[in-house]
Structure 1
Amino acid sequence: MKRFLQLIIVSVVVGLICLFISHKFTAKDHSKNGEKIYVYNWGEYIDPSLIKKFQKETGIEVIYETFDSNEAMEAKIRNGGTHYDVAFPSEYTVQKLKRQNMLLPINHDNVPNIKNLDPDYMNMSFDKNNRYSLPYFFGTVGIIYNKKAYPNDNFNSWNQLYNKKYNNDILLVDGAREVIGLALNKLGYSLNDKNSQHLEKAERDLRHLGPNVKGVVGDEITMMLEQHEANIAVVWSGVAAPMVQGSDEFDYVVPKEGSNLWFDNMVIPKTAQNKAGAYKFMNFLLDAQNSKQNTEWVGYATPNKAARHLLPDEVKNDERFYPSQESQENLEVYRDLGKETLSEYNERFLNFKMSLK
């Protein structure tokens, strides 16, 4: 009888444990079926703590993925394997996605923090009235150099890079439009030039730069400069900003012939499954305090006027990274060149890279 009662007690306890475990896993599964948004962004392009903060404030789980080129991002959105709710294309890709009918119009009433954006960075040529996109970060393409290695040089012209004294001491970003673009600017042509003869001249001109080029590189460009493997580089302003503002060893210049003024933007793909969540996420990122925090973490210039006011004076007043309206007159925004011309840019850039070997 005692043994029988023990078995009953054990059975009851086991049953209660199983019921508890079952309830626990059911609850866990239920949480997994809660609201989600799918976000597709460049790598290292948002403060991870902000994602956690958004999830805590809204209860919306963020499924976050990254891409390393506009072309890769565009292809994945077009293929539709993942229904992204928010994506972050550059300006010429916004233009392309619009043309291909792959974006939803943005209802500005659903993003009240749009009021924080600086009008100077709204209503750009690639998306008039910001019908399909809102600016996220912006910047320029220019030259960073080691002032201690070249104390008497100012690099205020693309021509400066061609001086033989910089033999094997220049790094270039691995981007066709940036590198072909510097030659186009040097020759007095537009960054959006479609003339094959002009593009051929740009490629030939880059061959003269070749002996000075140590390498065409990606993310390692910062490390190579800091370790003095090279003393000059053509970079995006956001790469230069932490190095320039963090020490007096480097300086950053946008050459006088002109350069690129680029914008990365927030959009809602047409295949988005959670439009309400997308609006909440964009509005969250445009909050002044959140945008300030994100700007300090990412290092690029913010188009968020309210956030910029909160930045340290030495950052928000630095015209190397927040160019004046007068300076911007000499800058160009990339436009969608069309598949054929873009292929020519890429082919000529590849020819140049191969000539370096």
Structure 2
Amino acid sequence: MSPEAPPPPAPSPAPSPTLEPAPFPAPSRRSFLRAGGAAALALTTAGCGFMASGSTGAAAERPIEMKPDGDLVYFNWADFVDPAVFAGFEDEYKVKVIQSNYDSMEGMAAKLNAGNRYDVVFPNAKWAQRLAAGGRLHRIDHSQLTNAGAVFDAYDYFADPWYDARSAHTVPFTMYKTGIGWRRDRLGDELTGSWDDLWNAKARGKVFVLDDRDEVLGLAALKLGVDLCTADPGELRRVTATLKSLRPHLRGFSSDSYNNLLNGNAVMTQAWSGDMAAMLAQAKDPDVFGFETAKEGAPVNSDCYAIPVDAPHPGTAMLFIDYMLRPENVKRNIRYIGYPMPVAGTEDTYRSLVGPFEACVVSTDDLRDELFFRGTDGPGERARDRAWTEVKAG
């Protein structure tokens, strides 16, 4: 990270430039996601999964003055913010955005535990809980954010989510759910709206599931009617047995869901809703494809804005969050990444994007505690890791 420069004077806010819709980035921003495996085990045996920081405690509670106090050191998935939105932020506040990327939540945690310092990070709900519980995040004063009401008043789930009481340390960025994508030209419309559809005989040998421990164990748990994040030994044996029965139908484990459907490697795949929106933008004939969520339950998740307690430029981070919540920037970014954002007034932008895939839309009714992935204690995480290893080994 470059040495901190003296903070420039705060300019008068100016309207964001009018921007034309940008194409989706390729490949999918989650296409490099990998299961946690040994990294997850090493990071979760202590409970919250984060080593103690010398900057916790009083520093985490200290109010952040929202003003430019240096360049923005940004840490996120690749291709998660439209470059033109970054450019508008840099131009308005006369700072640079210094980008770093990770390919998994475990990779993000490892960098934070190694002492790397960032101004804004984007944990999902489970990891936001671990960061907040470990005293690793600044409090965020929502009253400073111009459009906070469009988030917390319209989506009251996020006003007091299970992973961060009163959203004291986070602001939701995206929301998404998991379902099944398929090719209608191969399977027609015979699907039943159940996780059982992955066992469809016509798709045998052409099915992919995500290369993600929680998602794959979760689909079997939901199919069986047990807790999404179960660590109970008996239930995990049932989960692994169910997934072993799926193995003859599988072509593989892959988080590049939409490319597998597009190029025909997959006839059916477990998929994130946002990636299906990205696929629609690239499909020559969108009618060839379908997307459903299962009646037994569709896992949901949210990626969050968060400011690490040792952020070198927390004032700039606050400005960035405020800038990103402007409706014009939210709409721009929805078009770019294909994931909906819980900001009132932007819903039609996402609906127009997903078109025939109505199941991609995340409603307030979808946001239910029991459908979020949560962490367990050390023994529970080790049990889930063992189950995942057994499933992948066949």
Q: Contact between 2:331 and 2:349, CA under 8 Å: does it hold in 1?
A: yes
1:224 maps to amino acid: N
Structural mapping, 1:41-120, within 5 Å: 41-80=76-115, 82-117=116-151, 118-120=154-156
Aligned to 2:295: 256
* 1:138 is the counterpart of 2:172: no
Q: Contact between 1:244 and 1:251, CA under 8 Å: does it hold in 2?
A: no
TM, length-normalised to structure 1: 0.85
CA distance in 2, matches of 1:196, 1:164: 30
Q: Which runs of 5+ in 1 are unaligned?
A: 1-28
Bigger shift: residues 285-294 or 45-54? 45-54
How much does 1:148 deviate?
1.4
CA distance in 1, matches of 2:111, 2:4: 28
For each residue in 1:1-59, what CA deviation from the matched residue of structure 2 results, as whole angstroms up to 9, or x when unmatched?
Answer: xxxxxxxxxxxxxxxxxxxxxxxxxxxx9997762121111122111221111111101
1:222 to 232, 249, 258: 258
CA distance in 2, matches of 1:277, 1:136: 17
Q: Which runs of 5+ in 2 are unaligned?
A: 8-69
Aligned to 2:21: none
Aligned to 2:190: 153
CA distance in 1, matches of 2:175, 2:296: 20
CA distance in 2, matches of 1:230, 1:317: 20
* 1:276 is the counterpart of 2:315: yes
2:205 maps to amino acid: N
1:208 maps to amino acid: S
Structural mapping, 1:1-357, within 5 Å: 35-80=70-115, 82-117=116-151, 118-122=154-158, 123-219=160-256, 221-244=257-280, 247-310=286-349, 313=352, 315=354, 319-328=358-367, 332-355=371-394
Bigger shift: residues 85-94 or 185-194? 185-194
CA distance in 2, matches of 1:259, 1:31: 44
Secondary structure in 2 aligned to 1:199? helix
CA distance in 2, matches of 1:265, 1:71: 16
Bigger shift: residues 138-147 or 325-334? 325-334
CA distance in 2, matches of 1:324, 1:311: 12
TM, length-normalised to structure 2: 0.77
1:91 maps to amino acid: A
Secondary structure in 1 aligned to 2:209? strand
% identical aligned pairs: 26
Bigger shift: residues 169-178 or 31-40? 31-40
1:222 maps to amino acid: Y
How much does 1:166 deviate?
2.2
Q: Contact between 2:74 and 2:119, CA under 8 Å: does it hold in 1?
A: yes
Q: Contact between 1:37 and 1:60, CA under 8 Å: does it hold in 2?
A: yes
CA distance in 2, matches of 1:85, 1:332: 30
Aligned to 1:9: none
Bigger shift: residues 43-52 or 248-257? 43-52
Secondary structure in 1 aligned to 2:299? strand
Bigger shift: residues 330-339 or 253-262? 330-339
Decide whether aligned partners of structure 1 residues 87 and 316 sit closer, same or farther in structure 2, where only a CA change above 3 A counts.
Answer: farther
Q: Contact between 1:142 and 1:237, CA under 8 Å: does it hold in 2?
A: yes
CA distance in 2, matches of 1:308, 1:297: 15
How much does 1:194 deviate?
2.3
How much does 1:315 deviate?
4.5
Secondary structure in 2 aligned to 1:259? coil
Q: Contact between 2:155 and 2:364, CA under 8 Å: does it hold in 1?
A: no
Larger helix fraction of residues: 1
1:99 maps to amino acid: A
**How many residue pairs get matched?**
325
CA distance in 2, matches of 1:69, 1:31: 28
CA distance in 1, matches of 2:136, 2:189: 50
For each residue in 1:195-223, what CA deviation from the matched residue of structure 2 results, as whole angstroms up to 9, or x when unmatched?
Answer: 1211121011100000001010133x322
